[in-house]
Amino acid sequence: MPARPRIPNPQEGPLQAFAYDLRVLGEGKSSVAWIADHEETTVSRAALYAVLSGTRLPKAETVSTLLRWWAGDPMIEEPDEDDYLVEPTWAWINRLPRDHEKRRFANEWRTRYQRLARDILGEREFRPRAAQVAIDVPPEQERFIGELNDLIGKTGLADELWLLLGSLTPRAERYLAGESIPTDDMCRRLAYRLAEFIPDSRFEDLGIRLVRSAEVARLARVRDRRIARGRRSQTAEATE
């Protein structure tokens, strides 16, 4: 991903207008490179830059990461041990002082993003769905499964998942079977549970590890589906 993504034209649509305004918001503030390298950042530098191009709807976590530094202010956040229970992606907004201008401003940006996402996802419902194809579990997803298995093993409760994960157990079993990949928020919820049983571990570190591994696994599945669809199209054309 280029360090300087193309400047979106706000006249081309709401997605481009959002990206353009976000770029303006970030002028003179912490750079994308600095944010990407910060120890609390769990999304890639490429993903952060992609938000500023306005080419596709970004994930909430990616937008939230930039807004925390550009619309909010980590220096005035107040610690809250229950952050993980309240919409983790946007928990930093709840840590801003209740009557502070930054909190109102951050909430306005969050609302704008959520409306944008709702409108774009609503439009997609009327588009033809991509052809369904069956793929094997890619190596990147196997690595994620291995990492999750490794962390579960370190708790000493691999044979007692309900005791370890409670209501998250059915989901974890699907992740371990390669049937699905957890969202970023779910990775953090798993990390919180695992950290309670792994000596000398930090929930934040485990969360970052699982989030990054899951992101790579999801991208691998997208890649393999695209390849499989291409092969099927070629086969169909050859038989016509």
More confident site: 195 or 3: 195
Is the pLDDT reported for residue 85 higher than 50? no
- Over residues 139-186, the pLDDT tens digits come to 999 999 999 999 999 999 999 999 999 888 999 999 999 999 998 888
Query: How far is the C-alpha of 68 from the C-alpha of 73, rounded, in Å?
Result: 6
pLDDT category of residue 2 using cuts at 50, 70 and 90: very low
pLDDT of residue 1: 39
Report the pLDDT averaged over residues 72-94. Answer: 76
Domain boundaries, the chain: 10-124, 139-239
Query: How far is the C-alpha of 175 from the C-alpha of 194, rounded, in Å?
Result: 15
Report the pLDDT averaged over residues 204-229. Answer: 89
pLDDT of residue 184: 83
Report the pLDDT averaged over residues 65-83. Answer: 85
Query: How far is the C-alpha of 224 from the C-alpha of 139, rounded, in Å?
Result: 11
As given in the structure block, the two tokens for residue 61 are 């976590």
Q: Please tell me the number of Cα atoms within 13 Å of 151 on its side-chain side.
A: 28
| Of 115, 107, 90, the residue nearest 14 (C-alpha) | 115
| pTM (two decimals) | 0.55
**8 Å CB contact between 182 and 215:** no
Report the pLDDT averaged over residues 72-101. Answer: 79
Helix, strand, coil distribution of the chain in percent, nearest 5: 65, 0, 35
- Over residues 92-106, the pLDDT tens digits come to 998 898 889 999 999
pLDDT of residue 236: 57
**Cα four-point dihedral sign 197, 146, 189, 180:** negative
Report the pLDDT averaged over residues 15-40. Answer: 93
| 131, amino acid identity | A
pLDDT of residue 94: 87
